[in-house]
Amino acid sequence: MNASKEFFTRREFLKRTILAGVGTSFAPLIAYACEEAVPRQPRIAYYCNGEIHVSLPGREGKPITKGHWDFKPSWSKTGDMLVFFRRLKSDPDVSKWLTAICIINVDGTGFHQLTDGTYTEFNPTWTRDGKNIPVWNRKDPETGNFCIMASKVGGKPGEELPLTDPRYFAWVHSALSDGRLFVTANPPKLGFGYYLMTPKPGGEPKFERVECELLKKGFLDRVSVSPDEKMICFEFQPWSKGRTMVGRTLFIAEFNAEKRVITNPKPFANEEGKPLWFGYPRWIDGGKAVIYHAGKPGSCQLYVYRLEDGSTKRVSNDPKADYRYPCGEDVPC
């Protein structure tokens, strides 16, 4: 080999060696950047045959509770906990159940009971104001009215506090980042309606009425505020049908929290009012979709409705199982 060829061969060798080293050094960074560019799909929590499950939509999750009848999970804004209610005594009349409000980490650890199980307590959720306060609905044994209760993560039975007076009906559905709660209530002098309620522990809360044209035709139930607080989803029942859960229509609508008005309601499931249980619509994927359960009572499945294209897809896998009460990751109901 002559000197010239040897020189270029060595130079080419060094060049390729350096480039190979640089490429190897940057490869993890490039791969990491690519991985970061693909957003992680948010998970869901739901009831399945009496147990609370956590999984990705369309996949079968493992139960994080076993051996009990656990209902209606709600995912904390912090993303690490679920609050739900546990049925301790059953009855053909659901309003006579005895239940307990419980918290558990999404990995199945950290279970603790907030109430003692001697009351009828339903549908817990969380505040969205950064305080991570669990709130729920308790039936007062003397008046028969539901009132809104609150506790804290790590709380013990007996430490819970009422946010409303049991002398009138009040029911919390969802929450806003400014600390207000979206409620149904019948406060004295104001009358029955939907309100944004500002809690005042130890005192009387402030109620601000929410206007909605649909209220002339029926009532809204299981209301959930979207993550950006510009929309809501809910069950709708015409006044003529009474209080039955079967045959309801699911809606999305625009929501203005400042003006306290609901506008442009749009049905997206069971517009025809089929005699099936369409219920518990909840926001997922940052407000891009709504998940809900539907079917015959005792054999419901989970479905996702996407706002962008109006498509609906079943995301539960076992047609023989009973799926209910879904909720989205980091989105309190």
Tell me, what's the pLDDT at 254? 99
Phi/psi of residue 165, nearest 5 degrees: -80, 130
Between residues 330 and 124, which one has the greater pLDDT? 124
SS3 174: strand
**Mean pLDDT in residue range 248-253:** 99
Per-residue burial over 276-289, b if 16 or more Cβ lie within 10 Å, else e, is: bbbbbbbbbbebeb
Q: What is the mean pLDDT of residues 302-318?
A: 98
pLDDT exceeds cutoff 90 at 6: no
Q: What's the pLDDT score for residue 90?
A: 98
Instruction: Decide if pLDDT at 20 tops 50.
Output: no
| pLDDT value at residue 61 | 84
pLDDT of residue 56: 95
- Spatial contact of 291 and 280, defined as CB atoms under 8 Å apart: no
**Closest CA relative to residue 139, chosen from 123, 156, 155:** 123
pLDDT score of 333: 86
d(CA 275, CA 295): 9
Q: Is the model's pLDDT at 3 over the cut of 80?
A: no
Q: What pLDDT digit, counting tens, does each position of 57-86 carry?
A: 999 888 999 999 999 999 999 999 999 999
Instruction: Decide if pLDDT at 22 tops 90.
Output: no
Residues whose CB falls within 8 Å of the CB of residue 324, separated by 6 or more in sequence, listed in order:
46, 47, 48, 71, 279, 280, 293, 300
pLDDT value of position 27: 43
**Is pLDDT above 70 for 51?**
yes
Task: Give the pLDDT mean for 33-62.
Answer: 84
Q: Is the pLDDT of residue 103 over 70?
A: yes
